[in-house]
Amino acid sequence: MRALALLGTVLLAGCFNPDDILPIRGTVERAGQRVQLSRAVNPEGGDCTDWKRLKTVDAGDDGSFTLDVFRAQATNIATYELYCFKVETTYDNGAHLSSTMEQLVTQVELLDFPRWEPNLRREDGGFRFEPIHAQRDDGTLIVQHTLEVKRNEQTLWRTTDLGLGGFSATPMPRTLVDDPRIYEEFAGTASLKGYFAEIPMGIEQPIDLDELVLRPPVDGTTTETLALPRTVTPPSRGAACPSLGAPCRLTDGALEGVELDGAQTVTIEFAQPVKPSLIVVRALVTNSPVVGAFGTLRDGGVVPFGTWPLLRESDPPGSNKPDGTY
């Protein structure tokens, strides 16, 4: 038995050397820029949680840095489960850049961490800003931005440039369509997030996704915000919806969830006749792939406003939402 145990130890040592070094290399825009490495638990099928700082380094004169990780730090030796790792830095202008790796099994070369200055502003009917981009972009990166309007921690509106110019690595000012009718009933704050990732380019044959190795994407945030004042009160504010009781929780202006208790139709009764130009329903969750709206005339006639398809919601692991929600 002792011989078998020794043999097992020798074989294990041959395939797992806890002293192996797995370097993580990257580049920032400033010499001496502080870069932090954190580690987290990587639950199977879940998000990395319980982040703890592992080490920090200062970039060299050329902006390059290396974070050395021992294999024993990348793997739970007792369970052989892998840890998540996150490399991040915050520039003096408040720009925060990070890359997350769900596991670390070999050396990693990161994409650049730019000192992003979006200069977020409202111009010509849109939100305009300078895009996030890597300095050494050779045209093989996709770039996406998300603009979010919030009141405190409650989201009023969110939009991305996917479909509005789409993914693009072109470092020129970008514009997201601004429709203040969606949020102008509240005083809120607009903020911007950026993202860029590597994509394979110039490949003429089918790609084996199992063998494709890309560098981790980069997420960016800034402390830049735009204050958006309240400018109107919508005609629906305080309107009655008899099927849900009084006062109507759909029109009271509170950004809180409302259970419809299986209702297929909800009627909003206005104090005066209105001719709607926009209907806003926030954070609707339904089992139907289509939602429609219609109006009722004084003489009982019905005017259809339209129907709209909904996108299927991607429920996170462990969610208790019903299957197939939209």
Task: Give me 134's structure tokens.
Answer: 């890597």
Residue 13 has pLDDT above 50, yes or no: no
Residue 94 and residue 8 in contact, taking contact as beta carbons nearer than 8 Å: no
Spell out the alpha helix ranges (H) of 24-92. Answer: 71-74
Dihedral over Cα of 251, 256, 261, 263: its sign: positive
Distance CA 174, CA 193 (A): 13
Measure the CA–CA gap between 276 and 295, rounded to whole angstroms. Answer: 9
- Taking residue 195's Cβ as centre, other Cβ atoms within 10 Å add up to 16
Give the mean pLDDT of 40-57.
Answer: 87
pLDDT of residue 152: 86
- Three-state DSSP at 114 gives coil
Reply yes or no on whether the pLDDT at 223 is more than 80: yes
- How much is the average pLDDT of 197-224? 71
Domains with residue ranges and CATH for the chain? 2-109 (2.60.40), 121-228 (2.60.40)
Look up residue 254 and give its amino acid: A
| DSSP code at position 2 | H
CA distance 138 to 288: 43
pLDDT at position 188 is: 92
Residue at token pair 């926009």:
278
Distance between CA atoms of 15 and 74, rounded to whole angstroms? 15
Lowest mean pLDDT of 48-52, 61-65, 290-294, name the range.
290-294
Specify the 3-state DSSP secondary structure of 213.
Answer: coil
- At 189, the amino acid letter reads T
Residue among 301, 259, 304, 261 at smallest CA distance from 283: 259
- At 246-283, the pLDDT tens digits run 889 889 888 888 887 777 888 899 888 888 888 888 77
Matching residue, tokens 């502003």:
121
Q: How far is CA 67 from CA 74, 112, 262, in A?
A: 13, 15, 54
Q: What is the pLDDT of residue 160?
A: 85
pTM: 0.78
Query: In which residue are the tokens 């099994």 written?
Result: 105
Amino acid at 283: A
29 or 305, which is more confident: 29
> pLDDT by residue (tens digit) across 98-151?
999 999 989 999 999 999 999 999 988 889 999 888 666 566 778 889 999 998
Residue 165 confidence (pLDDT) = 47
What burial letters (b/e) apply to 199-228, b meaning 16+ CB within 10 Å?
Answer: eeeeeeeeeeeeeeeeebbbbbbbebebeb
User: Are the CB atoms for 74 and 105 separated by under 8 Å?
Assistant: yes
* pLDDT class of 167 with cuts at 50, 70, 90: low
213: pLDDT confidence band, cut at 50, 70 and 90?
low
Residue matched to tokens 């790796």:
101
Whose structure tokens read 């402390």? 223
> Strands of 49-58's sheet, edge to edge?
49-58, 34-41, 84-90, 96-101, 218-228, 188-198, 141-151, 154-160
Determine the pLDDT at residue 4.
Answer: 33
- Amino acid making up residue 223: T
Q: What is the pLDDT, as a whole number, of residue 172?
A: 67
